[in-house]
Chains A and B, each alone.
Chain A
Amino acid sequence: MITTYLFYFLSFLAIMFALMVVLSKNPVHSVLYLVLTFFTIAGHYVLLNAQFLAVVHVIVYAGAIMVLFLFVIMLMNLNKETEPHKSPWLKFSAAIASGLMLIVLVGSLKGAETIIATNPFNANIGLIENLGQCLFNDFLLPFEVSSILLLVAMVGAVMLGKKSIK
């Protein structure tokens, strides 16, 4: 029972924080709300028995990516409400568009057939042992490729980040 309540609570928080990310005027506040959103999503992972993933999620997103965002915002000195506002008409149309999108997505998901779970429930799939088995047996090549991707991204970021040599 407590799980159900936890789910509703975390969902509510996630949606709230997400909205705050989008709506807050100050970029630094947005980043902090985003971190909170990530924490609620990590909570969802724990509820779904994906404990290892929850840990990784916090470390990677909240720990690394968000810190990067913060660094950049600080570097650019954007912690004020410097953003020029869009015209009201544009804001309105943006809201309408995303609202339409929500309706359409929900509508299409409602019409979808439900998949019946065939495997018996297994609480251990989120454990590091099972994930490792799967990752290094079935997905070894994508794993290696993604390491190359990270390397390339790193090189690219360094290239872009350094001052151009004239």
Chain B
Amino acid sequence: MSAIQVIPINWYLLLSTVLFTIGVLGVLFRRNAIIIFMSIELMLNAVNLLLVAFSSYLSDSKGQVFVFFIMAVAAAEVAVGLAILMMVYRNTKSTDINILNKLKW
């Protein structure tokens, strides 16, 4: 008994949207770069969840294959992003994104 046979697809849409928005909220809300990173992971997972839900709904495994790719990209992104953060921290002794305001004029 699969959940998709019982639960309407709209509920999954709503759940994903809420999770995604929480990710957005985290990005806006926090100043710690690591937390922002985690919020981005949250958003990616919201999308993954929706992909799996649709894959199940349409009985098409391509959606799940896409989730694999998103995972690969996320892993790569986290590795590089955290490396950058390490460098930033090494130089500024902080992970506050408001310190990184050299990107102007």
Q: Do chains A and B touch in the complex (CB under 8 A)?
A: yes
> Which residues does A use to contact B, with CB under 8 Å?
3-4, 6-7, 11, 14-15, 18-19, 21-23, 27, 30-31, 34, 37-38, 41, 44-45, 47-50, 53, 56-57, 60-61, 64-65, 68-69, 72-73, 75-76, 78, 83-84, 86, 91, 94-95, 97-99, 101-102, 105-106, 109, 114-115, 117-123, 125-126, 130-131, 133-135, 138-139, 142, 146, 149-150, 152-154, 156-161
> Known: A78-B95, A126-B56. Contact between A83 and B31, CB under 8 A?
yes
B30-59 near A? 1/0 per residue, CB < 8 Å: 111011011101100100110011011111
Q: Tell me how far the C-beta of B39 lies from the nearest C-beta in chain A, rounded to whole angstroms.
A: 6
Bound CA–CA A119/B26 (angstroms): 38
For B13, what are the chain A residues with a Cβ–Cβ distance below 8 Å?
109
Asked if A47 and B2 sit within 8 Å, CB to CB, the answer is yes
Bound CA–CA A119/B61 (angstroms): 12
Asked if B53 and A48 sit within 8 Å, CB to CB, the answer is yes
Interface core residue of A37, A78, A98 (most chain B CB under 10 Å): A98
Asked if A121 and B61 sit within 8 Å, CB to CB, the answer is no
Bound CA–CA A156/B73 (angstroms): 14
Q: Tell me how far the C-beta of A89 lies from the nearest C-beta in chain B, rounded to whole angstroms.
A: 13
Asked if B21 and A123 sit within 8 Å, CB to CB, the answer is no
Asked if A56 and B68 sit within 8 Å, CB to CB, the answer is yes
Asked if B84 and A160 sit within 8 Å, CB to CB, the answer is yes
Bound CA–CA A106/B34 (angstroms): 28
Residue of A68, A84, A119 near B82 (CB, 8 A) is: A68
Residue of A18, A49, A69 near B2 (CB, 8 A) is: A49
For A95, what are the chain B residues with a Cβ–Cβ distance below 8 Å?
25, 29
For A60, what are the chain B residues with a Cβ–Cβ distance below 8 Å?
71, 75
Asked if B75 and A64 sit within 8 Å, CB to CB, the answer is yes
Bound CA–CA A41/B87 (angstroms): 32
Asked if B69 and A72 sit within 8 Å, CB to CB, the answer is no
Asked if B58 and A31 sit within 8 Å, CB to CB, the answer is no
For B6, what are the chain A residues with a Cβ–Cβ distance below 8 Å?
3-4, 7
Asked if A139 and B65 sit within 8 Å, CB to CB, the answer is yes
Bound CA–CA A50/B64 (angstroms): 8
